[in-house]
Structure 1
Amino acid sequence: MKKIQLGQSDLQVGEISLGCMRMSELSTKDASEVITNAVENGVDLFDHADIYGKGESESVFAEALKTTGVSREDIKLQTKCGIRKGFFDFSKEHILESVEGSLKRLNTDYVDSFLLHRPDALMEPEEVAEAFTTLKESGKVRYFGVSNQNPMQMELLKKYMGESLIINQLQLSIVHTPMIDAGFNVNMQNDPAVVRDSNVLEYCRLNDITIQAWSPFQHGMIEGPFVGNDAFPEVNAKLQELAGKYDVTDSAIAIAWILRHPANIQPVVGTMNTQRMQDIAKASHIVLSREEWYELYRAAGNDLP
């Protein structure tokens, strides 16, 4: 699998990562097979969050990792915090407590990257910066990032931080493209022209922040997969056509579409199916043509101006 650099860090990782939200549903044996299979296919960044499985996903991962031949130094661990029951919390106290909990559940002394999960309207950036400094100086977190934040929210954080943010996790799939749509419709009076995210795609590229694409097979707000869904006949027909051409699965083509973008976006794939992960990993070796990329974009229902 091809490697990418995460932001302005020294972290070199496979260009596809594994999201571990559903790992709490697996036995230790099955989770071990998922981890081993991922690493064998070049996937070496494992994405967690304190809320996944109410923390159980991290615990299952740690127990499973012990039974593999994979060492901690061979992989990158990432986790997130900030979502609590009924509210968001970027307080220093919660950040520090969350990291301690994740480290204990993951059975590790440090995580390679730590992200703020969803924007907290009551965030005090000075307080966040203090928490980040404490975590960095203690060696418990190597690098920091965010999830679902717009440019001004990141700028506010950066004003008080002593280092760069390296990641922003954002929802992106062929059928969920608001960060791309507005760029096609500059100075137009149509709905796609509305800039909903303050040009977050361009901002991240300008500031060397890696976008990690979550839910790359989903439509809506995690309403279900669009791949193989009869409600999306045109895009699935095109996916199947290209899958036949490149001798891969339609899911691999959906990931290849994201990888084709020059922003070096890293998809976060949440499958716990080892065969599907093997199939998806083949996307790293596919470079869609410009025409094919646009064909898929249009097949998803997008009109070019």
Structure 2
Amino acid sequence: MSFPLPLQTHLRDVTPLVYGCMALGGDWNGGPVTETDIAHAHAAVEAALDIGVTLFDHADIYRRGKAEAVFGELLKRDPGLRARMRLQSKCGIRFADDANVGRFDFSADHIERSVDGILQRLGITHLDILLLHRPDALMEPAEVARAFGRLKAAGKVGHLGVSNMHAAQMRWLQTALDEPLVANQLELSLAKLDFIDAGTTFNDPQAATRPGAAAWAGTLEYAQQHGVQLQAWGSLAQGRFNEPAASGAAKVVHEIAETHRTTANAVLLAWLLRHPAGIQPVIGSGSAERIRACGDATRIQLSREEWYRLYVTARGQALP
């Protein structure tokens, strides 16, 4: 299964929300998949499908492979599921072991072996999208391009994207690729505002108080100019806004949720969806109830005033 090209033109229209599968597969001990793991994953996947999610995001390291393995068991037990979804996974992170430190690895050998493992665990022959998980300091774009070319020619991978890369890294990698990068998955949320501050504090003294914003310079603009689909991991801000009393920003989130007769989580996702970069929030909850509660996000249209009220309150400092 593959998307009509160019993929990045259609991806957000097909599925405004993404389900992140890191919570599936039980603990991180690398043990066998259990029936409890399968039942939990089944409930989460069905909840995601119920709210219109069609893109499911994995990584080879999630639960040390168990997230993909339990998902593969679901596909095996219900083969019809595959036709209802697109599958995306990531590779490039290697955990520490007895012989080596934890590291990142975009070597051709590691990418190709990783994809074979992903396909085996998921029980599929074709992965719709492969993302490179964390920037490898030793990355050689031509080597990545050769690996992707072989995977593409073998029918193992449809499209290539990245995760946690800034504009310059995407531009450098793209020089060696014959096809456009289709996605970049980044930490974006109301609690992680550097991607917005990079623009709003440019050429202003506030830039000195927000040093993290500088690394984002040009990243959103590059993605929009070149059709790279931005995906937001950590979109629900790890529950930071769950309780109205937690902060002034949390109070505003809940006030706006009441206005729209929805949940706080839906407001957090709607805030990301409102941005013109066309951000796809990734829902990482393992709770079927919470997943379904996120469905309202696609039906909410925040006003400019609501969007800025959330942003300015969460940043804790008035705009210049």
Q: What's the offset of the Cα at 1:230?
A: 7.1
**2:71 maps to what in 1?**
61
**Separation in 2, partners of 1:287, 1:302:** 25
**Cα deviation per residue 1:88-140 (whole Å; 9 max; x = unaligned)?**
00000000000000000001111111000000000111110000101111111
Unaligned stretches of 5+ residues in structure 1 = 219-223
Name the structure with the higher helix share. 2
Which secondary structure does the structure 2 equivalent of 1:118 belong to?
Answer: coil
Superposition TM-score, scaled by structure 2 size: 0.88
Q: What's the offset of the Cα at 1:217?
A: 1.8
Which secondary structure does the structure 2 equivalent of 1:173 belong to?
Answer: coil
Alignment of 1:10-49 (within 5 A): 13-25=14-26, 27-49=37-59
- Asked whether the equivalents of residues 46 and 76 of structure 1 are also in contact (C-alpha less than 8 Å), the reply is yes
**Separation in 2, partners of 1:303, 1:232:** 20
**1:161 maps to what in 2?**
177
**2:221 maps to what in 1?**
202
Given candidates 222, 225, 230, the residue that maps to 1:211 is 230
Which secondary structure does the structure 1 equivalent of 2:52 belong to?
Answer: coil
Q: 1:243 to 1:6 in 2, by over 3 A?
A: farther
Q: Which amino acid aligns with 1:177?
A: L
Q: What's the offset of the Cα at 1:189?
A: 2.2
Identity %: 42
Alignment of 1:212-251 (within 5 A): 212-218=231-237, 224-228=238-242, 232-251=246-265
Deviates more, 1:90-99 or 1:272-281: 272-281
Which secondary structure does the structure 1 equivalent of 2:136 belong to?
Answer: coil
**Separation in 2, partners of 1:229, 1:210:** 31
**Separation in 1, partners of 2:260, 2:244:** 23
- Asked whether the equivalents of residues 166 and 215 of structure 2 are also in contact (C-alpha less than 8 Å), the reply is no
**2:305 maps to what in 1?**
291
Which secondary structure does the structure 1 equivalent of 2:214 belong to?
Answer: coil
**1:87 maps to what in 2?**
103
**1:7 maps to what in 2?**
8
Q: 1:170 to 1:128 in 2, by over 3 A?
A: same
- Asked whether the equivalents of residues 6 and 12 of structure 1 are also in contact (C-alpha less than 8 Å), the reply is no
Instruction: Report whether the alignment pairs 1:50 with 2:68.
Output: no
Unaligned stretches of 5+ residues in structure 2 = 1-5, 27-35, 96-101
**Separation in 1, partners of 2:143, 2:55:** 28
**1:221 maps to what in 2?**
none
Q: 1:11 to 1:251 in 2, by over 3 A?
A: closer
Which secondary structure does the structure 1 equivalent of 2:294 belong to?
Answer: helix
Q: What's the offset of the Cα at 1:55?
A: 0.4
Deviates more, 1:100-109 or 1:11-20: 11-20
**Separation in 1, partners of 2:312, 2:223:** 25
**2:33 maps to what in 1?**
none
RMSD of the alignment, in Å?
A: 1.8
Q: 1:11 to 1:217 in 2, by over 3 A?
A: closer
**Separation in 2, partners of 1:197, 1:6:** 24
**Separation in 1, partners of 2:147, 2:204:** 43
**1:122 maps to what in 2?**
138
**1:150 maps to what in 2?**
166
**Cα deviation per residue 1:29-86 (whole Å; 9 max; x = unaligned)?**
2211211221121011110000000001000011123344743122000000000121
